[in-house]
Structure 1
Amino acid sequence: MLRAQGSSGRKPRLYGVRTSWSTVGDGEFFCPDCGGDRNYRRRTGRRRFTLLGVPLVARGSAGPVVECAACRARFAMDVLDHPTTARFSAMLRDAVHTVALAVLAAGGTDSRPVRETAVVTVREAGFDDCTEEQLTELVDALAADTGRYIVDPGPCGAALAIELHEALEPLAPHLAAAGRESIVLGAARIALADGAYSPAEREVLATVGGALQLAPEVTRGLLAAASRTPS
C-alpha cells in the first residue's frame, strides 16, 4: 500500500482495496475466540479499488465468512463444522446411550448388576430419568426389529455396528483422546458388571473403539485395564 508522508507524521492512504460486506444468513455457532456459543452472521463481500477513500473499480468477491455477532471476529465456513455446546452435549449423551444399548444387546439384560451399571452410565451422560425397564425394553425392541439388529454376520450385528458408527464417528473429532477413552471404559464397566467379557461384548467394544478413532491396541489396553480395576 502506497502512502504519502504528511507534515504531522501521519501516513494517509492514497489508494487501496476496501471490502463491503453483506449478510446472507445467520445462526448459532461455537466461536473459537469467545470460547462459547454465539450468534453469527454469514457474510459475503465485494472488493473495490479505492482512491482517496472513494470506491472506484470492482476487484472481485470475498468470503463467504462467518462473523461472530459478539466479538466480530471472522472465520472460514468450516468453523460451522464444530458443534455448539448444546449440540455437542446432545451428541455425547446419545452416543453413550447407543453404546450402552449395544453392550446390553451383546451381553444380555438378565444380570441386575449389568442393568444397574448401564443405568448409572447413561444417567451420568445426561439421561437423568433413565431406568432399567426403559433400557431393557429398548434392547428387546432392538433385538426384535430385524431392520436394525441383524444377528449375522458376527455377534455385534451388522446393523448395530452401523448405528454405533453413526453415533460415534461424528463425535470423535471433537473429543480429546481422554474423552473417547472414557466412553470405552464406561462401556467396559457395563460388560464387566457380571463377570469377564463375552466374545460378543468384546466385539461390540472393539467396534466402539474403532468408531471413536482409537487404535485397536489402545482399545485392547483399555479393556484390559478395566478388567483389572475393582468394581
Structure 2
Amino acid sequence: MRSSRGQRATGPRMCGVRTVWDTVGDGEFFCPGCGGDRNYRHLTGRHRFTVLGLPLVPRGSAGPVVECAACHAHFPTDVLDHPTTTRFSAMLREAVHTVTLAVLAAGGTTSRTVLQAAAAVVRDAGLDDCTQEQLYTIVEVLAADAGHGGTDPAAEACGAALAIELHEVLGPLAPHLAVPGREKLLLQGARIALTDGPYSQAEREVLTAVGGALQLCPADTAKLLEAARTPS
C-alpha cells in the first residue's frame, strides 16, 4: 500500500478570495518593470469570497492599479506621473530651448558668435532645424510684445515673461531629471552667456533663476556658474 504521507491534495480549493478587475481607462506609460514605454490598463477591482471557485460574498474594493500590457505587473496609479520616454525627450528639448532664449534675452542678440553657440546647443538637444535667425527673431518678437524695441533692452522687455516660462517648463522636468542632468542644463546656458565675455548682471540673474527652477540650491548654482568660467 502506498503511503499518503507528504502528498498534497489536488482537488479544487473549498474557499478563497478572488479579485475581479474592471478596466476604467488605458493609455501609454513608462513601465518600471519593463523599463520602457508600454501600453497600460487602469483597473479597479472588487474582492469576492469564493466557495468551490464561485464568487459569492463581496469583500471590499481593490485598487485602483495600473497594469502593464506587456509584463502584466500591477503598479500604484502614481506611476502615471512619470513621463514616458517620448514625453521626457520632448520636455528636455523644450527646456534647452527655453533656457537658451532666456540667456539670449538677458545678454542681447547682437553677437553673431553667441547666436551661433546658442543654435548649436539647441540643435544638439534634438531641434535639428533651429537656426541663428530663428532664435534672433523669437527674442526680438518677445521684446516687441513687451513694449520695447531694439536689441539692448531685450532683457528687460521679456525677462519677466521668460522667468515665468522657465518655471513652467523646468518645474515639471526637474523631479524626473537626475542632478547631473540638471547641472548640465544650467551649464549649457552659462556657456552660451560666456561666449562673448563675462556674465552681465542680467545674465547672472537669469542663470540663477534657471538653477532655482531646476531645484538646485543657490550655493550649487553659484559654484556651477563659476566652474563654467574655467576652460575645460
- Structure 1 length-normalised TM: 0.91
1:134 aligned residue: 134
Contact 1:103 1:187 in 2 (8 A): yes
Query: Following TM superposition, by how much is the alpha carbon of 1:122 offset from its aligned partner in structure 2, in angstroms?
Result: 0.4
Contact 2:144 2:157 in 1 (8 A): no
Query: Following TM superposition, by how much is the alpha carbon of 1:155 offset from its aligned partner in structure 2, in angstroms?
Result: 8.5
Q: Distance in 1 between matches of 2:90 and 2:62?
A: 34
Count of equivalent residues: 222
2:103 aligned residue: 103
2:229 aligned residue: 227
1:27 aligned residue: 27
Q: Distance in 2 between matches of 1:82 and 1:51?
A: 40
Contact 2:143 2:158 in 1 (8 A): no
Contact 1:106 1:155 in 2 (8 A): no
Aligned-pair identity in percent equals 68
Which letter does structure 2 place at the counterpart of 1:188? A
Q: Does 1:83 align with 2:83?
A: yes
Tell me the SS of whatever aligns to 1:169: helix
Tell me the SS of whatever aligns to 1:95: helix
Distance 1:180 1:155, change over 3 A: farther
Query: Following TM superposition, by how much is the alpha carbon of 1:8 offset from its aligned partner in structure 2, in angstroms?
Result: 2.3
1:48 aligned residue: 48
Distance 1:213 1:138, change over 3 A: same
Tell me the SS of whatever aligns to 1:170: helix
Q: Distance in 1 between matches of 2:42 and 2:94?
A: 29
Alignment of 1:176-215 (within 5 A): 176-215=178-217
Q: Distance in 1 between matches of 2:135 and 2:9?
A: 72
Query: Following TM superposition, by how much is the alpha carbon of 1:6 offset from its aligned partner in structure 2, in angstroms?
Result: 9.1
Deviations 1:142-194 (A, max 9, x none): 111129xxx8x979733221110001000001100000000000000100000
Q: Distance in 1 between matches of 2:139 and 2:49?
A: 65
CA RMSD of aligned residues (A): 2.1
Q: Distance in 2 between matches of 1:61 and 1:6?
A: 40
Query: Following TM superposition, by how much is the alpha carbon of 1:141 offset from its aligned partner in structure 2, in angstroms?
Result: 0.6
Q: Gapped runs of 5+ residues in structure 1? A: none
Tell me the SS of whatever aligns to 1:23: strand
Q: Distance in 2 between matches of 1:216 and 1:10?
A: 67
Contact 1:156 1:200 in 2 (8 A): no
Tell me the SS of whatever aligns to 2:45: strand
Which letter does structure 2 place at the counterpart of 1:192? L
Tell me the SS of whatever aligns to 1:129: coil
Contact 1:155 1:200 in 2 (8 A): no
Q: Distance in 1 between matches of 2:184 and 2:157?
A: 23
Contact 2:41 2:67 in 1 (8 A): yes
Q: Gapped runs of 5+ residues in structure 2? A: 148-152
Q: Distance in 2 between matches of 1:145 and 1:50?
A: 68
Query: Following TM superposition, by how much is the alpha carbon of 1:112 offset from its aligned partner in structure 2, in angstroms?
Result: 1.4
Greater shift after overlay, 157-166 or 130-139? 157-166
Which letter does structure 2 place at the counterpart of 1:8? Q
- Structure 2 length-normalised TM: 0.90
Contact 1:113 1:194 in 2 (8 A): yes
Alignment of 1:119-198 (within 5 A): 119-146=119-146, 157-198=159-200
Deviations 1:182-231 (A, max 9, x none): 0000000100000000000000000000000000111111100000125x
Q: Distance in 1 between matches of 2:170 and 2:14?
A: 55
